[in-house]
Amino acid sequence: MKSHDEMMSTDDEDNASRNLRHLRVGPKILNSLQQETSLQHLWLGPTFSSSVTLDKIAEILSQSQLRSLDLDLSLMAASSTTTSCNGSRRSNKATLETNDWTCAMECFVAQLSSVEKLCLRLPTRQEGVVLACIQGLATGLTCSNAGVKTLDLRSNRMDDQAAMVLAAALPQMTSVRHLILTWNRIGSVGAEALAKALNHSRLERLDLSHNPALDDTAAVALSRALQTNTRLQVLNLSGCTGITVQGGLAKLVECLGSTKHNNINHNNVTLEHIYWKNQRPTRHDPRMAAAAESTATATRTNQNTDDKDILQAMEYYLSLNRAGRRLLIHSKIGQEKVSIAVWPHVLAKTASVNKSSLIGRPATGPHELFYLLRQNPGLFEHTQQQKTLFIVND
């Protein structure tokens, strides 16, 4: 049986979350949300009554203390009246025009001051609405005091033009740390725009998975940006079937490190994970699953040795970054000096957090420790200031 404290904590979590996916949201439901001051997580949509508009939702939610909002607008088409950017009222229309969506989205985002995670499913049935929403969203996140840290725009049929609009505003989105653009229609042009904006943003995680139009050109653009990037930690390219091992992934390995030049000052030392799997998702069909398994087995059997070397090199350099390779740069250049006492704690933490790697050995193993010691042999030297000798067991 649950203890009293556990039951109280569970009740608090239930009171702080509302999943209204299965309801037709009307004015009464929105007004009831206004009275729940402890509400922190909300799933809303996609079915709304004809009297509910985006600016009405913003008006209600602006008075709450929401931390996470998942809003599905994919079926919202009818509107009684909407407020334009200059505050004037528009007449009744069967569907929102693209300009109306831009203004409505801008005003909506500007009022979400407490939301840290924002998931949006945009209307994709009417042509031009997605681009209009992205324009309003970008303007709202750059001109307001919005504190959105995670921006989830998956499955919105975003194309290169929408990605370019978002990339242009990305440097001004100072609060955004995690950008999710999976399951869209972004191609190489949109990826290049995002890559150029990467070094001027504060992104730590970028998810471009399952965008079939991405190819080696996009990976090359990302590798160029990552050569000087010091913030991004996770890059997800899973399901991007146009990216090859010897093309795009080889360029990403070059920005992480090179076996010929062992100079960490010219390598990316902050990227810790690259997710990549070049296969298409299959349906839940036993015959298709068996065929996919036989194809995967043949691929593994006939896999080129060069491909294996590239994948192993990529995971090796990523494991070095997870082991704290960035601290070596701070220890060697610049005015910031990393204390020797920090290193044993860093190595112990990475060894416990990173349980395993893609090539079947510990993420922080003897190879990484040898690399760190070779780059900075003074890590475990006995000095007058450091009288305690730290020993890290293998």
> What are the per-10-residue average pLDDT scores of the chain (394 residues)?
42 70 86 84 90 86 89 72 50 57 90 92 89 94 85 97 97 95 97 96 96 96 94 95 93 80 71 81 52 57 75 88 74 53 63 45 54 60 40 37
Those residues with Cβ within 8 angstroms of residue 210's Cβ, 6 or more apart along the chain or in another chain: 182, 183, 238, 239, 240, 281
What pLDDT sits at residue 372? 64
What pLDDT sits at residue 174? 92
Alpha-carbon gap, residue 214 to 210, rounded angstroms = 9
DSSP state of 55: H
Is the CB of residue 82 less than 8 Å from the CB of residue 50? no
- The beta strand positions in the chain, using DSSP E, are 17-20, 41-44, 68-72, 117-121, 150-152, 178-180, 205-207, 234-236, 273-275
What pLDDT sits at residue 339? 64
Torsion angle of C-alpha atoms 33, 181, 146, 199, degrees rounded to 10: 170
Pairing mode of beta strands 178-180, 41-44: unpaired
Phi, psi dihedrals of residue 176, rounded to the nearest 5°? -75, 125
Residues forming beta bridges with residue 31, ordered by sequence position: none
What pLDDT sits at residue 127? 83
Phi, psi dihedrals of residue 197, rounded to the nearest 5°? -85, -10
Those residues with Cβ within 8 angstroms of residue 308's Cβ, 6 or more apart along the chain or in another chain: none
